[in-house]
């Protein structure tokens, strides 16, 4: 069966089959809480995610006497592990450690996700503990100060990783003042300035039934999860009876981005230059997502890709080289990465841009198209063996896409992509203003020719 199922925000109950005999069920509770499960026959474990529809893009500057909330989403994610009305931080840690479960959280630009992977027998525990963290965290002031130190160390660790630094600066370079351009975790200044009260307000404002999506994949019984979740949320003080519409993050109006690229060089005495070059890309919901996946596979994913062959195999200029194409609700990026010797960095940047322009003018071959379809299909089939991937796919379907496409449907869409589609999309991307970030022992002058910057403004004295 090829199935793409719409997920209207108001629908109460949906049940449908996904490929591989999996059964997907979705409930929208009156309060706006959404629950999606994917039961995979034969599975002995499950991955569960609690998604809150708030990310770093939703933070705001100080206004009307209220403090800025930059960094608060990630700070709050940390604090939810630090104790509730009935559980200490150690209790929470012990719950998952004692059963060998994986348990963590991540803050992203458009959501925050708390997740766990456990054996089937431990799923009720995971529902209860995660619900407790979401509804009943204390944000204890002493724990708050300890965790400030932990987060500052996390930022320092990222600050010492040149690839991380390049990545943060790249979003800023390509997306400019758009909220998606900001770093996810804030910075040391915003974390030092954060107050317990400010983060508490952020918690109250964003952790509500209408913001919550719970997804589970693997060995799961939908009705039991809905019951257990409802009980746990109510026990945590949430009102599940008052009707509310789920938060809608499925915007499809493209953001207006600036018309010029930016060049950012972070000078460091490193052995390599970490290079990122790219342009504004496609929304998560763009009709051309299948074409974009094919382009990305052919251009920069895998050892047979254009970038790998041209930069690494033929010339030995880099060890790591690839492209990537993340999509968000109202913006996206198309980027290329390489780590290379400082003396070679300008040539590598020019080569990467030229390769994209070559696809834009000369297109790709039928052979590459067939290979990319096989690559995406095979990789997806392997990835779906893991309940983590299925859990994440459900969350993305609900929060971002508004539809669930199973593997067969995804493959059908990929099979429809033509060489001409790929060329036209590459031409569209290559016509957009290129930005570049370089972290390492280099300087701006080296990259002027590769970036579509606005000419420097001349100040009139």
Site for its own copies in 53-112 (CB under 8 A): 81-82, 89-90, 92-94, 96-103
Distance in Å, CB of 179 to its own copies, minimum: 25
Touching its own copies, residues 130-149 (CB under 8 A): 145-149
**Binding segment toward its own copies, per CB under 8 A, in 41-49, 60-68, 231-239, 394-402:** 41-49
Distance in Å, CB of 137 to its own copies, minimum: 15
* Integer Cα distance of 19 and 196 in angstroms: 46
For residue 343, state whether it binds its own copies (rule: CB under 8 A): no
User: Nearer Cβ to its own copies, position 374 or 449?
Assistant: 374
Residue choice 220, 318, 391, 446 for contact with its own copies (CB under 8 A): 318
Distance in Å, CB of 348 to its own copies, minimum: 10
Touching its own copies, residues 204-223 (CB under 8 A): none
Touching its own copies, residues 9-38 (CB under 8 A): none
For residue 195, state whether it binds its own copies (rule: CB under 8 A): no
Distance in Å, CB of 461 to its own copies, minimum: 37
Contacts 24+ apart (CB under 8 A), 269-272: 269/441, 270/162, 270/439, 270/440, 270/441, 271/341, 272/162, 272/339, 272/340, 272/341, 272/342, 272/440
Tokens 């600066």 found at: 169
Q: Which residues are the active-site residues?
A: 77
Residue choice 302, 326, 402, 433 for contact with its own copies (CB under 8 A): 302
Residues binding its own copies: what is the number (CB under 8 A)? 73
User: Nearer Cβ to its own copies, position 99 or 234?
Assistant: 99
Residue choice 113, 131, 151, 216 for contact with its own copies (CB under 8 A): 151
Residue choice 140, 221, 386, 453 for contact with its own copies (CB under 8 A): 386
User: Nearer Cβ to its own copies, position 141 or 316?
Assistant: 316
**Binding segment toward its own copies, per CB under 8 A, in 324-332, 356-364, 382-390, 399-407:** 382-390
* Integer Cα distance of 210 and 225 in angstroms: 18
Distance in Å, CB of 375 to its own copies, minimum: 5
**Binding segment toward its own copies, per CB under 8 A, in 222-230, 245-253, 311-319, 414-422:** 311-319
* Integer Cα distance of 78 and 72 in angstroms: 10
For residue 272, state whether it binds its own copies (rule: CB under 8 A): yes
Residue choice 11, 62, 245, 382 for contact with its own copies (CB under 8 A): 382
* Integer Cα distance of 352 and 355 in angstroms: 5
Residue choice 27, 37, 45, 167 for contact with its own copies (CB under 8 A): 45
**Binding segment toward its own copies, per CB under 8 A, in 10-18, 374-382, 389-397, 444-452:** 374-382
**Binding segment toward its own copies, per CB under 8 A, in 27-35, 166-174, 352-360, 373-381:** 373-381
Residue choice 196, 371, 396, 412 for contact with its own copies (CB under 8 A): 371
For residue 306, state whether it binds its own copies (rule: CB under 8 A): no
Touching its own copies, residues 153-172 (CB under 8 A): 153-154, 156-157, 159-162
Residue choice 1, 253, 256, 303 for contact with its own copies (CB under 8 A): 303
CB neighbours of 239 closer than 8 A, spacing ≥ 6?
Answer: 31, 209
User: Nearer Cβ to its own copies, position 77 or 122?
Assistant: 122
Contact criterion met (CB below 8 Å) for 20 and 387? no
How far CA 440 is from CA of 264, 279, 299, 340, 343, in Å, comes to 11, 21, 25, 10, 11
User: Nearer Cβ to its own copies, position 7 or 417?
Assistant: 417
For residue 150, state whether it binds its own copies (rule: CB under 8 A): yes
Contact criterion met (CB below 8 Å) for 99 and 118? yes
Distance in Å, CB of 204 to its own copies, minimum: 24
| Terminal CA-CA length for the chain | 70
User: Nearer Cβ to its own copies, position 11 or 150?
Assistant: 150
How far CA 312 is from CA of 270, 317, 363, in Å, comes to 20, 5, 21
> Parallel, antiparallel, or unpaired: how do β-strands 333-340 and 435-440 relate?
unpaired
Q: What backbone torsions phi and psi does residue 282 show, to the nearest 5 degrees?
A: -105, 150
Distance in Å, CB of 41 to its own copies, minimum: 9
């Amino acid at each position: 069966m090829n199935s793409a199922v719409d997920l209207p925000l108001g629908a109460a109950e949906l049940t449908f089959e996904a490929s591989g005999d999996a059964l997907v069920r979705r409930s929208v509770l009156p309060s706006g809480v959404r629950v999606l499960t994917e039961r995979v026959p034969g599975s002995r474990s499950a991955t569960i995610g609690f998604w809150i529809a708030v990310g770093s893009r939703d933070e705001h500057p100080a206004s009307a006497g209220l403090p800025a909330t930059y960094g608060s989403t990630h700070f709050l994610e940390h604090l939810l592990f630090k104790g509730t009305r009935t559980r200490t931080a150690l209790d929470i840690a012990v719950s998952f450690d004692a059963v060998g479960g994986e348990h963590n959280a991540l803050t992203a630009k458009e959501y925050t996700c708390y997740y766990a992977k456990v054996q089937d027998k431990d799923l009720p525990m995971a529902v209860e503990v995660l619900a407790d963290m979401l509804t009943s965290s204390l944000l204890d002031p002493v724990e708050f100060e300890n965790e400030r130190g932990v987060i500052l160390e996390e930022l320092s660790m990222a600050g010492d990783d040149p690839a991380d630094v390049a990545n943060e600066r790249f979003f800023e370079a390509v997306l400019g003042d758009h909220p998606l351009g900001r770093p996810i975790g804030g910075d040391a200044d915003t974390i030092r300035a954060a107050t317990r009260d400010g983060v508490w307000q952020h918690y109250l404002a964003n952790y509500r039934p209408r913001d919550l999506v719970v997804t589970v994949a693997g060995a799961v019984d939908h009705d039991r999860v809905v019951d257990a979740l409802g009980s746990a949320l109510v026990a945590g003080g949430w009102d599940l009876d008052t009707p509310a519409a789920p938060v809608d993050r499925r915007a499809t109006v493209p953001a207006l981005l600036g018309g010029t690229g930016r060049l950012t060089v972070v000078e460091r005495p490193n052995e390599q230059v970490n290079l990122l070059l790219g342009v504004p890309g496609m929304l998560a919901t763009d009709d051309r997502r299948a074409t974009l996946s094919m382009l990305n596979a052919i251009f920069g994913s895998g050892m047979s890709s254009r970038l790998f062959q041209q930069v690494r195999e033929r010339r030995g200029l880099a060890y790591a080289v690839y492209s990537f194409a993340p999509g968000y609700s109202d913006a996206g990026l198309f980027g290329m990465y390489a780590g290379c010797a400082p003396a070679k960095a300008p040539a590598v940047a020019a080569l990467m841009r030229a390769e994209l322009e070559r696809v834009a003018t000369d297109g790709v071959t039928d052979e590459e198209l067939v290979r990319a379809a096989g690559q995406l299909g095979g990789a997806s089939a392997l990835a779906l063996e893991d309940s983590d991937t299925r859990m994440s796919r459900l969350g993305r379907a609900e929060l971002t896409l508004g539809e669930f496409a199973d593997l067969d449907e995804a493959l059908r869409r990929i099979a429809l992509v033509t060489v001409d589609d790929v060329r036209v999309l590459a031409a569209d991307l290559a016509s957009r203003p290129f930005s570049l970030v370089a972290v390492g022992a280099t300087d701006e002058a080296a990259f002027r020719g590769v970036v579509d910057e606005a000419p420097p403004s001349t100040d009139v004295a």
